Structure 1
């Protein structure tokens, strides 16, 4: 534990508190945990950090605290953080910077002319207008074609852009993959090197390689983290990008990237009481500023999907002033 001012920071290990010491009735969290065990058969961990200490921690179905699991689309929120750092360091000029100027070699007669208007903010907000089916099952054939193509990045940049869809939110993986290529191009580092140097190292996350299936190594792939490492990233955002007196992410970026009136901001989902990073099946990092709390789930429940946050709405939020 490290104490800086009135804040508590995890050193190599987190300090443990109790629900009671955090002002939470322990029975609430135990009831939530029982609900998760009973009704969410593919939730593997449930961790609550409040006031800088782990107030509750449970692992299910043989999972251990040291187990690293695929965080799936939670890594999109990590890309958002890296984009904010890249802007602060001058690798990107602003969120209006056009994508094609970074990849002039892909500008060809086959590109949709609307690709010229595509900028960083479109990728962060998933408003690129790239054609992408709403259902995951329908989008998989497109992803499979990309994987079979000679150049994955070229495949994305040659996708059709829908006039009516551009500047409107539609969740799709291509925008985030393209942002990962942007970050690697401007930094001349792999996404794994970038994350370790700018983000994971400063806050004590020990990540294995950020996997990349792309033969040209343009696009980020899978990332595996422990629940406690996920909590570190959430705690960094809870503290507006500050980590023990070091501003890892500009506070203005944390505010800008988690604000808005819709369901989604800069690769973060918005919630009435905060915001959260979310991966398929319920893997999540939930940041609740009003409660000074971070909640983490490791999960993978793809069939008959229900988000484990349901259990929080039933068993926790109403009792801590987040009804």
Structure 2
């Protein structure tokens, strides 16, 4: 690649995207660029925030492909037969797995009560208690943390395994991704420390050992790039079908909308025609897949509020720089 362009890219990252920890660019399965910033190396994992959601989508797809989940149209409450709903509540009874994956399930709050959720002794029950209400099923309602945790409970009930064990066996081990161990955060201070720890490893779990579906996973930039390449290759990794190809096709096309933004099954759809989609996490964590150009970009970032848009960086600088490389 042009050395001057490389210097320019790194100058832009250091000045305008200076919370970046690592950046990897793959094309046709080959690593064209790999670099680390802020004293991070390829061995350092980062809390990837909501990128966790897109990876959880893969786990749901694997479970459906295995027949452990019969259909996305299954009702959420089918998996929680012991859960007691309040008299007169009908909406919650109609919410499906697909509603959870497309963020079209309604909730009984205007903004997520994070602190009460974290302080509760059963996150799944707390989340179920907030599901439903007077909102309309089918309207986009983004659940950053609370609602998506219900998917973790569904996966456990469906597979008979912990989320961590299922993910390790079916996804991480085949890709040679080492996540670490469960991380139980006891208070707000520990949460903040988890976000900032340079040597962080693991996956956040609640008091019952249920791993989070919407956040809390740590990955290296190369781990993220592997996930992107797996999706670009239709779920195939070293001649083994890890994720059903039909699931990848289905989960990376538009199923719901939030204003001008398109959403699949826990993936953001950036261009339906060109088939460009991304996993996006707070602070500027990204797995970006451009199917037409056979390109994957992973960016791991340290948490800062109101991080600058990485998609702009990818589209304006990174893609043009590498699109003509073989």
Q: Is the contact between residue 208 and residue 223 of structure 1 (CA under 8 Å) also seen in structure 2?
A: no
Contact map agreement 2:26 2:295 (CA 8 A) in 1: yes
Report what 1:102 is aligned to.
79
Instruction: Write out per-residue CA displacement over residues 11-61 of structure 1, whole angstroms, 9 at most, x where no aligned residue.
Output: xxxxxxxxx4xxxx5544442332111111211111101121110111111
Question: Is the CA contact 1:269–1:276 (under 8 Å) kept in the aligned structure 2?
Answer: yes
Contact kept, 8 Å, 1:198 with 1:248, in 2: the verdict is yes
* Structure 1 segments of 4+ aligned residues over 3 angstroms from their partners: 25-30, 162-165, 316-322
Measured at CA, do residues 160 and 64 of structure 1 come closer, stay the same or move farther in structure 2, by a change above 3 Å? closer
Write the distance in 2 (CA, Å) between the matches of 1:97 and 1:257. Answer: 17
- Unpaired runs of at least 5, structure 2: 182-201
188-197 or 159-168, which deviates more: 159-168
User: Cα 1:168–1:29, aligned 2, differ >3 Å: closer, same or farther?
Assistant: farther
TM-score, structure 2 as length reference: 0.83
Match of 1:92 in 2: 69
User: What is the aligned length?
Assistant: 293
Instruction: Note the C-alpha offset of 1:154.
Output: 1.1
Residue 289 (structure 1) shift: 1.1
Identify the residue that residue 191 of structure 1 maps to in structure 2: 163
User: What SS is found at the alignment partner of 1:174?
Assistant: coil
Structure 2 distance, partners of 1:244, 1:57, is 22
Query: Which of 165, 168, 171 is equivalent to 2:142?
Result: 171
Contact 2:254–2:264 under 8 Å retained in 1:
yes
Q: 1:154 is matched with which residue?
A: 125
Deviation per CA, 1:50-98: give whole Å up to 9, x if none. Answer: 1211101111110111101111111111110010110011111100001
Gaps of 5+ in 1: 1-19
Q: Look up the match of 1:300.
A: 302
Instruction: Establish whether residue 211 from structure 1 lines up as the match of residue 203 from structure 2.
Output: yes
Q: Which residue pairs with 2:186 in the alignment?
A: none
Distance 1:245 1:163, change over 3 A: same
Where do 1:222-301 residues align within 5 Å?
222-260=216-254, 262=257, 263-272=262-271, 273=274, 274-301=276-303
Distance 1:85 1:160, change over 3 A: closer
What per-residue deviation string (whole Å, max 9, x for no partner) do you get for residues 258-301 of structure 1? Answer: 01174211000111241011110111110111111110111134
Change (3 A) 1:218 1:291: same
Two-structure CA RMSD over aligned residues (Å): 2.1
Indicate the residue corresponding to 1:46 in structure 2: 23
Is the contact between residue 127 and residue 146 of structure 2 (CA under 8 Å) also seen in structure 1?
yes
Q: Which residue of 2 aligns with 1:10?
A: none
Cα distance in 2, alignment partners of residues 190 and 234 from structure 1: 24
Q: For residue 223 of structure 1, report the CA deviation from its aligned partner.
A: 1.7
Give 1:305 shift: 2.4
Mapped to 1, the partners of 2:164 and 2:203 lie a distance apart of: 8
Separation (CA, whole Å) in 2 of partners of 1:312 and 1:69: 20
With the length of structure 1 as denominator, give the TM-score of the two structures: 0.84
- Higher mean C-alpha deviation, range 311-320 or range 164-173: 311-320
Inter-CA distance 253–30: structure 2 relative to 1 (3 Å threshold): farther
